[in-house]
């Protein structure tokens, strides 16, 4: 029975009670909890979800070969299989850095529309293919420059921003048959009441009445206060979404009587402590804060691990070149809730705090089904990355549940159990135990620390497993891409991770020779930023541990006079820290000069001189880094040699441009030794 309790006996069976009590740890602190639907139900449950984006967090997933890619998607979205997510929230790409990379916009420019850029469309379709009932949310982090007409602000021309967002929603339906369920405002940035009202008006005008509005994806305030004093805004906002609320809400949010969501949470390394964090907040966001949905950042850690917040996904899939992935503990913690509930169920009205520490929630579909999720996560084993976690104690305890109302006739409940052992051999995840017997509406459980139990009337739960994926392998030490693909399935070349700017497959109609199919940097105006994008564009690739490497690439500068491009090695940074990126950068410029710098900003010059390079002509650059020495070739001939490089000692390869400008790249080759 592995820790599952026994049926409560009446007084007449006291001897049996004492016998079982000895078996089940007589002397444990005990408490009684009543689950009753007779007086009505609590808030409606809206589901558990995860975020792809904010940013480029699913970048490497699309490059996986089958069957591994489908296996990963099954673990995330397939009902009664793995995480069985109810909600998928995606970034509306805006061409700007949004944490671990940039995601391309569907409208780089005002007269430009393309609803096949990036991979979020594909991901939403794959999620829907597995679970047609999954809810879809779109939220912008950044916006293309034209939205702000030169200002780093999306609200000066609200009709323009609304047009842009509505286009994305309509494009999802027209080109991908995707119905967007919810739309956000601007991730973790200011909201604008006029914009939100205009958004609702325009949604309705375009027949999108079913799309609900979430605001403001930041903190509970000031949006809650404004909703209380602005009746028109109160009418159009459907959900108050807060980020990293620490399981707490505020009085004003409750007074609005709106749905309350942790619309971004978790953001924690996906080891067992991360699983403990996730288990605790999935329950306590409702128990402490009345939040009826919790959405994890991020869905799957499918970006280079050395970028910011590496492996902060529910599972890990960062090796498309090998096919290796790992189903991490948070997947099975998610399953404890998602496999036994659905949006539209209701929470029961019960306090939910366990007297010995920990929490429980109980939900029903109103049709006789009941699901109880219990967690006993200890303080040090359930810290999330933010906010700081106040001290608390959890101890082994006995919990007795009395089922009342429509649940009284229940005789058995299915039991699923996880125990987080924290580097010990005691970890077990999402294991089905023997059913618990319910005697006259009551049953007991002996609870240890760092456990999760699900008790449910549903018999549909499953812990499925695919065949073992291939073993992990480092990025290939000899890697080539000629970009010669006529109809690419995605707009981005495999394994390149854009950090500022957007690099897309391009058909170069002006070159009938060897450079018809190229990779082109296409963002020529600084986007409305979410963080400080670099002034240069850059896309990284490869193995962060590379030390000695040779990078070769054909380059084509399109911008006259002050245009320029680079290839680089030992690149040490990206994501929200891209402006501070160091490495060895080999630049050539349209004015016929070159530079070697130790930073992306181009300020730490190691060597400079004349190259003879001009715009609108193809040239081949080669950068060779060996130990503390670097050299560069132009069109196969030495241009500079014996430049001393000391830091950084390792890093990725990269390509990029001097500014936001058109430029093309072809025949990329990196060889590391």
State yes or no: is 264 an active-site residue: yes
Of 110, 113, 188, 355, the catalytic one is 188
Max CA separation in the chain (angstroms): 99
Of the listed 91, 120, 126, 264, which one is catalytic? 264
For residues 388 and 245, the answer to whether their CB atoms sit within 8 Å is no
Strand arrangement of the beta sheet that strand 605-610 belongs to: 497-500, 537-541, 652-657, 564-571, 582-589, 593-599, 605-610
Instruction: Give residues with Cβ within 8 angstroms of 442, minimum separation 6.
Output: 7, 8, 400, 401, 402, 403
The residues, ordered by sequence, that sit 6+ positions from 178 with a Cβ below 8 Å of its Cβ are: 121, 124, 125, 128, 136, 172
The H-or-E segment that residue 17 falls in is: helix 14-23
Nearest alpha carbon to residue 387 among 224, 300, 265, 260: 265
Give the integer Cα–Cα distance in Å for 107 and 110.
6
Residue 528 is encoded by which pair of tokens? 């409305």
d(CA 162, CA 470): 45
| Residue 61 · residue 77 · CB < 8 Å | no
What 8-state DSSP symbol labels residue 345?
A: B
Question: Cα(69)–Cα(466) distance, rounded to whole angstroms?
Answer: 11
Alpha carbon of 388 to those of 19, 213, 231, 244: distances in Å? 44, 29, 35, 10
Distance from the Cα of residue 26 to its chain's centroid: 45
CB 474 within 8 A of CB 673: no
Starting at the edge strand found earlier in the chain, the sheet holding 442-447 runs: 30-35, 397-403, 442-447
Burial 559-575 (b: 16+ CB within 10 A, else e): beeebbbbbbbbbbbbb
Q: Is 671 known to be catalytic?
A: no
Choose among 611, 526, 629, 524: nearest CA to 566: 611
Secondary structure (DSSP) of 151-220: SS-SSSSHHHHHHHHHHHHHHHHHHH-----EE-S-TTS---HHHHHHHHHHHHHTT-TT-EEEEEEE-S
* Residue 184, burial from CB neighbour count under 10 angstroms (0-12, 13-18, 19+): buried
Rg (CA), the chain: 28
**Alpha carbon 35 to chain centroid distance?**
35
Contacts of residue 542, defined as CB under 8 A and 6 or more positions apart, other chains included, come to: 475, 479, 495, 549, 652, 653, 670, 672
Structure tokens at 55: 């940013």
CA atoms lying within 13 Å on the CB side of residue 273 = 12
Q: Which residues are catalytic?
A: 188, 264
């Amino acid at each position: 029975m592995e820790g599952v309790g026994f049926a409560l006996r009446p007084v007449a069976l006291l001897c049996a009670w004492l016998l079982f009590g000895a078996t089940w740890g007589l002397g444990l602190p005990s408490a009684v909890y009543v689950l009753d639907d007779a007086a009505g139900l609590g808030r409606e449950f809206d589901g558990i979800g995860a975020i792809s984006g904010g940013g480029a967090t699913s970048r490497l997933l699309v490059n996986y070969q089958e069957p591994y890619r489908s296996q990963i998607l099954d673990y995330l979205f397939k009902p009664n299989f793995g995480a069985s997510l109810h909600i998928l929230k995606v970034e509306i790409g805006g061409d700007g850095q949004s944490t671990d990379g940039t995601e391309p916009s569907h409208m780089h420019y005002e007269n430009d529309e393309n609803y096949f850029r990036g991979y979020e469309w594909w991901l939403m379709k794959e999620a829907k293919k597995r679970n047609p009932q999954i809810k879809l949310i779109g939220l912008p982090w950044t916006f293309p420059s034209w939205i702000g007409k030169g200002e780093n602000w999306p609200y000066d021309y609200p009709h323009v921003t609304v047009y842009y967002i509505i286009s994305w929603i309509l494009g999802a339906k027209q080109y991908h048959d995707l119905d967007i369920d919810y739309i956000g405002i601007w991730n973790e940035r200011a909201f604008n009441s006029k914009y939100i009202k205009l958004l609702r008006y325009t949604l309705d005008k375009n027949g999108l009445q079913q799309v609900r509005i979430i605001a403001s994806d930041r903190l509970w305030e000031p949006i809650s206060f404004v909703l209380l004093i602005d009746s028109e805004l109160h009418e159009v906002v459907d959900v108050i979404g807060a980020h990293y609320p620490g399981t707490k809400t505020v009085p004003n949010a409750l007074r609005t009587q709106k749905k309350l969501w942790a619309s971004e949470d978790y953001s924690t390394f996906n080891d067992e402590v991360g699983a403990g964090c996730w288990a605790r907040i999935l329950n306590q966001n409702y128990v402490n804060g009345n939040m009826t949905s919790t959405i994890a950042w991020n869905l799957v850690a499918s970006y280079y691990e050395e970028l910011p917040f590496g492996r902060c996904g529910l599972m890990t899939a960062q090796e498309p070149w090998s096919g290796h992935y790992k189903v991490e503990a948070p997947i099975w913690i998610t399953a404890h809730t998602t496999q036994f509930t659905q949006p539209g169920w209701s929470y029961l009205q019960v306090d939910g705090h366990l007297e010995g520490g920990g929490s429980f929630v109980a939900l029903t579909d109103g049709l006789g089904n009941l699901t109880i999720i219990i967690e006993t996560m200890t303080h040090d084993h359930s810290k999330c990355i933010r906010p700081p976690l106040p001290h608390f104690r959890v101890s082994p305890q006995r919990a007795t549940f009395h089922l009342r109302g429509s649940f009284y006739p229940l005789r058995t409940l299915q039991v699923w159990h996880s125990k987080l052992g924290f580097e010990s051999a005691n970890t077990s995840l999402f294991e089905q135990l023997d059913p618990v017997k319910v005697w006259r509406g009551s049953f007991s459980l002996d609870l240890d620390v760092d456990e999760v139990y699900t008790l449910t009337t549903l018999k549909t739960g499953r812990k499925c497993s695919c065949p073992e994926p291939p073993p992990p392998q480092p990025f290939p030490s000899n890697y080539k891409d000629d970009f010669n693909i006529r109809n690419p399935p995605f707009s981005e070349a495999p394994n390149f991770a854009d950090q500022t700017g957007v690099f897309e497959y391009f058909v170069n109609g002006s070159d009938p020779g060897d450079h018809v199919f190229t990779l082109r940097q296409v963002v020529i105006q600084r986007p409305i930023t979410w963080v400080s994008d670099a002034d240069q564009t850059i896309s990284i690739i490869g193995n962060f541990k590379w030390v000695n490497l040779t990078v070769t690439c054909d380059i084509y500068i399109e911008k006259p006079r002050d245009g320029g491009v680079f290839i680089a090695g030992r690149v040490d940074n990206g994501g929200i820290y891209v402006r501070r990126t160091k490495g060895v950068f080999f630049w050539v410029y349209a004015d016929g000069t070159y530079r070697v710098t130790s930073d992306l900003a181009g300020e730490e010059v190691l060597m400079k001189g004349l190259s003879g390079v001009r715009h609108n002509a193809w040239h081949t650059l080669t950068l060779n880094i060996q130990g503390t020495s670097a050299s560069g070739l132009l069109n196969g001939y030495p241009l500079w040699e014996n430049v001393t490089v000391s830091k950084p000692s390792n890093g990725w390869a990269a390509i990029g441009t001097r500014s936001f400008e058109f430029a093309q790249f072809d025949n990329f080759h990196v060889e590391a030794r």
